[in-house]
Amino acid sequence: MQAGEPQIWLSWQEKISALNLSDVAAALLEAAGPLHLLGAQLVYLGEPLLGGLVPQDRLRALAHLLEDPQAAQDFARGLRGGAA
Protein backbone atom coordinates (compact mmCIF):
# COMPACT_ATOMS: atom_id res chain seq x y z
CA MET A 1 0.00 0.00 0.00
CA GLN A 2 1.06 3.54 -0.67
CA ALA A 3 1.63 6.17 2.03
CA GLY A 4 -1.64 7.57 3.30
CA GLU A 5 -3.69 4.65 2.06
CA PRO A 6 -4.49 3.10 5.47
CA GLN A 7 -6.74 6.10 6.23
CA ILE A 8 -8.36 5.76 2.84
CA TRP A 9 -9.09 2.07 3.47
CA LEU A 10 -10.64 2.81 6.84
CA SER A 11 -12.87 5.35 5.12
CA TRP A 12 -13.81 2.85 2.38
CA GLN A 13 -14.57 0.19 5.02
CA GLU A 14 -16.81 2.60 6.93
CA LYS A 15 -18.74 3.59 3.82
CA ILE A 16 -19.14 0.01 2.62
CA SER A 17 -20.27 -1.07 6.09
CA ALA A 18 -22.73 1.83 6.31
CA LEU A 19 -24.33 0.57 3.09
CA ASN A 20 -24.44 -3.00 4.50
CA LEU A 21 -22.31 -4.20 1.59
CA SER A 22 -19.30 -5.56 3.51
CA ASP A 23 -19.98 -9.21 2.73
CA VAL A 24 -20.80 -8.51 -0.91
CA ALA A 25 -17.69 -6.38 -1.44
CA ALA A 26 -15.49 -8.93 0.33
CA ALA A 27 -16.94 -11.77 -1.75
CA LEU A 28 -16.31 -9.84 -4.97
CA LEU A 29 -12.72 -9.11 -3.99
CA GLU A 30 -12.11 -12.73 -3.06
CA ALA A 31 -13.78 -14.19 -6.15
CA ALA A 32 -12.42 -11.76 -8.75
CA GLY A 33 -8.88 -13.16 -8.56
CA PRO A 34 -7.40 -12.72 -12.04
CA LEU A 35 -9.84 -9.93 -12.89
CA HIS A 36 -8.27 -7.57 -10.34
CA LEU A 37 -5.77 -6.26 -12.88
CA LEU A 38 -8.55 -5.57 -15.39
CA GLY A 39 -10.50 -3.79 -12.66
CA ALA A 40 -7.48 -1.63 -11.86
CA GLN A 41 -7.15 -0.65 -15.51
CA LEU A 42 -10.85 0.25 -15.63
CA VAL A 43 -10.41 2.48 -12.59
CA TYR A 44 -7.48 4.24 -14.29
CA LEU A 45 -9.47 4.67 -17.52
CA GLY A 46 -12.55 5.89 -15.66
CA GLU A 47 -10.63 8.33 -13.50
CA PRO A 48 -11.57 11.41 -15.57
CA LEU A 49 -15.28 10.53 -15.31
CA LEU A 50 -15.24 9.31 -11.73
CA GLY A 51 -13.04 12.17 -10.54
CA GLY A 52 -16.07 14.35 -9.94
CA LEU A 53 -17.67 11.72 -7.70
CA VAL A 54 -14.69 10.22 -5.89
CA PRO A 55 -11.48 12.02 -4.88
CA GLN A 56 -8.51 11.15 -7.07
CA ASP A 57 -6.43 9.79 -4.17
CA ARG A 58 -9.19 7.29 -3.37
CA LEU A 59 -9.46 6.16 -6.99
CA ARG A 60 -5.70 5.67 -7.19
CA ALA A 61 -5.74 3.76 -3.90
CA LEU A 62 -8.47 1.50 -5.29
CA ALA A 63 -6.44 0.86 -8.43
CA HIS A 64 -3.33 0.07 -6.35
CA LEU A 65 -5.35 -2.31 -4.20
CA LEU A 66 -6.66 -4.14 -7.25
CA GLU A 67 -3.13 -4.44 -8.66
CA ASP A 68 -1.93 -6.17 -5.49
CA PRO A 69 -3.70 -9.51 -4.88
CA GLN A 70 -2.47 -9.72 -1.28
CA ALA A 71 -3.71 -6.21 -0.50
CA ALA A 72 -7.11 -7.08 -2.00
CA GLN A 73 -7.33 -10.20 0.19
CA ASP A 74 -6.29 -8.20 3.26
CA PHE A 75 -8.95 -5.59 2.55
CA ALA A 76 -11.58 -8.30 2.05
CA ARG A 77 -10.58 -9.80 5.40
CA GLY A 78 -10.92 -6.34 6.97
CA LEU A 79 -14.41 -6.00 5.51
CA ARG A 80 -15.37 -9.27 7.14
CA GLY A 81 -14.17 -8.00 10.51
CA GLY A 82 -10.63 -9.35 10.50
CA ALA A 83 -7.46 -7.32 10.69
CA ALA A 84 -6.93 -5.32 7.50
Confirm whether 52 is domain-assigned: yes
Would you mind telling me the total number of residues written for the chain in this entry? 84
Which residues, including other chains, have CB under 8 Å from residue 46's CB and lie 6 or more apart?
A: 59
Confidence of residue 26 (pLDDT cuts 50, 70, 90): very high
Confirm whether 27 is domain-assigned: yes
Is the model's pLDDT at 4 over the cut of 90? no
pLDDT tens-digit map of 28-80 = 888 887 788 898 999 999 988 887 888 888 888 889 888 988 888 888 998 98
Confirm whether 29 is domain-assigned: yes
Instruction: Yes or no: say if 16 and 22 are a contact pair by the CB < 8 Å rule.
Output: yes
Confidence of residue 3 (pLDDT cuts 50, 70, 90): very low
In the chain, how many domains are there?
1
Is the model's pLDDT at 1 over the cut of 70? no
| Helix (H) / strand (E) containing 1 | none
Instruction: Yes or no: say if 76 and 26 are a contact pair by the CB < 8 Å rule.
Output: yes
Is the model's pLDDT at 84 over the cut of 80? no
Q: Residue 45: which domain range?
A: 5-79
